[in-house]
Structure 1
Amino acid sequence: MLKVVESFSGLGAQTQALKNAKIDYQILNTVEWEVGAIFAYDILHNGPQDLSIYRHHTKESLVQEISKYNISSNGKDLITLTGIRSMSMIYLKSILYSIERNHNLIDINTVGSNNLPDNIDLFTYSFPCQDLSVSGHFWNNKKGINRDSGGQSSLLWQVERIIDELSQDSKSLPQFLLMENVSAILSKAHIKNFNMWCEFLNQKGYYNKVYTLNAKNFNIPQNRERTYMISIFTNGDSALNDKLDYFFFENNLEAIQLDTTQTESLRNYLKLDYSDAKYRAEAIMATPEFTPSRKKIYRENVCLAIDDQVIENEIARTITTKQDRNPNSGLIHYSDNNQLVSGRPYRNLTPREAFLLMGFSEKSYDMLLDNNIEVSKNRQILPNSKLLKLSGNSIVVNVLTKIFEQMQQIRKEIF
């Protein structure tokens, strides 16, 4: 059994990929502080919640329990005690249930050797990308992964601290580490820090394999390039390192190159049958008012489909945390006689379509909607905007599945 700690866990794309790869695994801990992601992860991977276990709690006792944790509503700032007190009872119960059921350690800054088990096989870390991304640079955010920048992306160095602590306490280091982030991490602006990170891992006895992989080469019709690093603990054994060199030479995932005619069609991802009331309602929600700024979006972004017909061999651009923006992932156009809302000639991708394009199943998405609790009048814990943000921040499951299959092969053939 592969024993896993999933840090910066988000929607749990790693867990979904382990399921898809049919690997026997156990999630020992998650590490995630954003409450929407905490709740979504729990529902996606564990199903409905049984909140009756908290029936004897008062509002104040729930507040006291939740206030022990450094949680965030936006992934950037801590929720204050006042903010926690403003949450409804069902909101507090759902978050507490999610934390406890997933053994969530919440804040990467407080994770250490003292609260991690001694038998980790795989530690995953998809730390925040906002200080690395091109969009961040556009807004003059140049923090990158500088160790003392105070930016979100500098949380990478908390992983360094954790590995150091495990080593100092004579605990076993994880056999595998898996990093995922934007490919800008390899750019001139950030490569010095990235190389420093790789050197630290080398000194700890890890062999590193860096991949830059695009989702479109893994049968997902989305042009999404990300960088991954598989680190394998060999304790500096040159014979093992040579075997790994040969393995990755023979099994290089970067060698998979599909053209758009080979990638699965968008017709299996876009929900264009508006005779289905569910899909129609979601499409209308994604159909924005045709303002001057959106006229520019309409002109400048790729058309993925017209009415119920996809554009053959077209693929979506990178799914981001917000679709009503320029540039975006792509648009569905309405012909004049088929507009769902008069005077609005296009729509954005729906959250359902974004989830599918990230490799999650429609069944999983429906389970999320079916359990999407109402935390106050007309407000759910996961509104559409949050669902889009969670999908944009996630990892394409299909790519992770292939990586985990490689890990299993390495475990069997080399170790």
Structure 2
Amino acid sequence: MKTIKLLSLFSGIGAFEKALSNINQDHEIINYCEIDKYASYAYSVLHNANESLNLGDVSKINPDTLKDFDLLTHGSPCQSFSLAGKGEGGDEGSGTKSSLMWYTVDIIKKKLPKYIIWENVKAVTCKRHKHNFSKYIDTLNKLGYNSYWNILNSKDYGSPQSRERMFCISIRKDIDACLFKFPKPMDSIVPINTILDEYVDKKYYCINKYTREFINKVDRKVVDNKEPNKYGLLRIGKIENPTALNMNKRVFSSQGACPTILTGSHSVPKIMEYKLRRLTPCESWKATGFTEEDYNLVKTKLTNKFYKGVDRTDTQMYKMAGNSIVVPVLETILKELFKA
């Protein structure tokens, strides 16, 4: 296929761009859109893109000023749809973070690209938010698009992370042969231990009294013989820390998949090897589908640009991984899209 011209909205560190490169699909970044200064800089480093291409706030974009493009990608903010958020929803004009999706629709109306890919949490399809989801699909239908959507879990597509997300693929009707099908899940699970670092700094190990009590109670036979659940997770137990949120108490075996990575360092999954620790920032990046080389490049650049050469990047690196779409899932979707 010829070079794909891409407009990337809510870009993060560019998971779509990484996936396009991984499947050897030539693409040109027309513009990207990211308001976080750390993520924007990381994006420019990873994809060799000048930061002048960053449009910034999506609500300030004038569609008339945009160059033509073939593919629009948007992983619009999920906080207002997410079960982990306040559930404020994404009604057009409501001012919630998730309502920013409608600025994407304004751009689509004006530019009518060939392909559109929308990613969000699966809660966007639930009863409480279904009216927004249906409105989006109906609006694109009236604009001349066929839309195909599904809930996919990244652990079914070669990722060691279990992360369920909604993917909606819209293809302009004049070029759609109605052949697009979502990729079939893989039979095997990629365990966390495939992306674990060989050497881990002691600061990532849990050493307080709650974790010591947990380790003393673990039955090694139970850990070794237990089967993964439907999400591919091998949950061993939880840390009895009364001050921690319930989701942050959970402990998982490195022989199963990794639970969904969120944006804060305190919510990084705890894993059980011979000692108890959380995933490192580098492991979080690898669980999302970026490489150790990607991580080291961005870490070095961020350290020099924002921290005067002193490594204080953990918080931002965890946040970038938690906000990212899982790359292997996108690879399988894009292969099917360009084959259809």
Q: Output the aligned Cα RMSD.
A: 2.3
Deviation at 1:34, TM superposition (A): 0.6
TM-fit CA distance, 1:371: 2.1
- Rate the CA distance shift 1:367–1:99 in 2: closer, same or farther, 3 A: same
Compared with structure 1, are the counterparts of its residues 227 and 377 closer, same or farther at alpha carbon in structure 2 (3 Å cutoff)?
A: same
1:24-83 Cα offsets, whole Å, 9 max, x none, are 111110011110100111112229xxxxxxxxxxxxxxxxxxxxxxxxxxxxxxxxxxxx
CA distance in 2, matches of 1:209, 1:372: 38
User: How does the TM-score come out when normalised to structure 1?
Assistant: 0.69
Structure 1 residue 257 displacement after superposition: 4.6
Corresponding residue for residue 395 of structure 1:
325
Equivalent in the alignment of 1:131: 80
Matched residues in 2 for 1:295 and 1:317: separation?
A: 23
**Which of 4, 14, 18 is the equivalent residue of 2:6?**
4
Counterpart of 1:207 in 2: which secondary structure?
strand
CA deviation after TM superposition for structure 1 residue 189, in Å: 0.7
1:203–1:395 distance in 2 versus 1, CA, 3 Å: same
Q: Deviations over 1:218-267 (max 9, x none)?
A: 111211110010100115xxxx66x41xx24xx432x3253xxx223333
Aligned to 1:29: 31
Q: Look up the SS of the partner of 2:47 in the other structure.
A: helix
Following TM superposition, by how much is the alpha carbon of 1:110 offset from its aligned partner in structure 2, in angstroms? 1.4
Q: Is the 8 A contact 1:332 1:349 kept in 2?
A: no
Give the distance between the partners of 2:169 and 2:213, measured in 1 at CA: 43
User: What is the DSSP-based 3-state SS (H/G/I as helix, E as strand, rest coil) of the residue aligned with 1:316?
Assistant: coil
Q: Give deviations 1:376-403, integer Å, cap 9, x for gaps.
A: 55755x7101100110100010011111
**Which residue of structure 2 lines up, in the alignment, with residue 315 of structure 1?**
257
Mapped to 2, the partners of 1:115 and 1:287 lie a distance apart of 50
Match of 1:56 in 2: none
5+ residue gaps in structure 2?
Answer: 215-237, 241-248
Q: 1:27 to 1:291 in 2, by over 3 A?
A: farther
Report if the CA contact (8 A) 1:29-1:104 is conserved.
Answer: yes
Aligned partner letter, 2:67 = P
Task: Give the SS at the match of 1:373.
Answer: helix
From 174, 184, 189, the counterpart of 2:113: 174
Aligned residue type for 1:154: S
TM-fit CA distance, 1:294: 9.9
Letter in 2 for 1:3: K
How many angstroms does 1:161 deviate by?
Answer: 1.7
Aligned with 1:214 (options 148, 153, 158): 153
Secondary structure at the counterpart of residue 28 of structure 1: strand
Equivalent in the alignment of 2:189: 263
Decide which of 89, 96, 99 is 1:154's aligned counterpart. 99
Other-structure match for 1:331: 271
Q: Where do residues 19-98 of structure 1 align in structure 2 (5 Å cutoff)? A: 19-46=21-48, 98=50
Alpha-carbon separation, structure 2, partners of 1:363 and 1:378: 19
1:5, 1:124 within 8 Å by CA — same for their partners in 2? yes
Alignment of 1:293-312 (within 5 A): 297-298=238-239, 300-305=249-254, 311=255
Which residue, 167, 174, 186 being the options, matches 1:228? 167
* Pairwise CA distance, 1:304: 2.4
Q: Quick one: which amino acid aligns to residue 187 of structure 1?
A: C
Q: Which of 44, 55, 58 lines up with 1:105 in the alignment? A: 55
Q: Over residues 128-158 of structure 1, what are the superposed CA-to-partner deviations in whole Å (9 max), with x where a residue is unaligned?
A: 111111111xxxx232111122111100011
Q: Which deviations, in whole Å up to 9, do the C-alpha atoms of 1:359-380 show, x marking residues without a partner? A: 1111211212232334355755
Contact preservation (8 Å) 2:265, 2:319: no
Query: Aligned in 2, Cα 1:198/1:38: closer, same or farther, shift over 3 Å?
Result: same
1:21·1:405 contact (CA, 8 Å) conserved in 2?
A: yes
Q: Is the 1:323–1:349 contact (alpha carbons within 8 Å) kept by the matching residues of 2?
A: no
Match of 2:205 among 287, 298, 301: 287
SS state of the match for residue 132, structure 1? coil
Tell me the SS of whatever aligns to 2:67: coil
1:370 aligns with 2:322: no
TM-score (norm 2): 0.83
For these two proteins, the number of residue pairs brought into alignment is 306
Distance apart, 1:193 and its partner CA: 1.1
Q: Which amino acid aligns with 1:217?
A: D
How has the CA–CA distance of structure 1 residues 208 and 193 changed in structure 2, closer, same or farther, with 3 Å as cutoff? same
Q: Which protein is bigger by CA-based radius of gyration? A: 1
1:234/1:41 CA distance change after superposition, 3 Å:
same
- Residue 223 of structure 1 aligns to a residue whose secondary structure is coil
8 Å Cα contact 2:73-2:116 kept in structure 1: yes
Which of 174, 181, 184 is 2:123 aligned to? 184
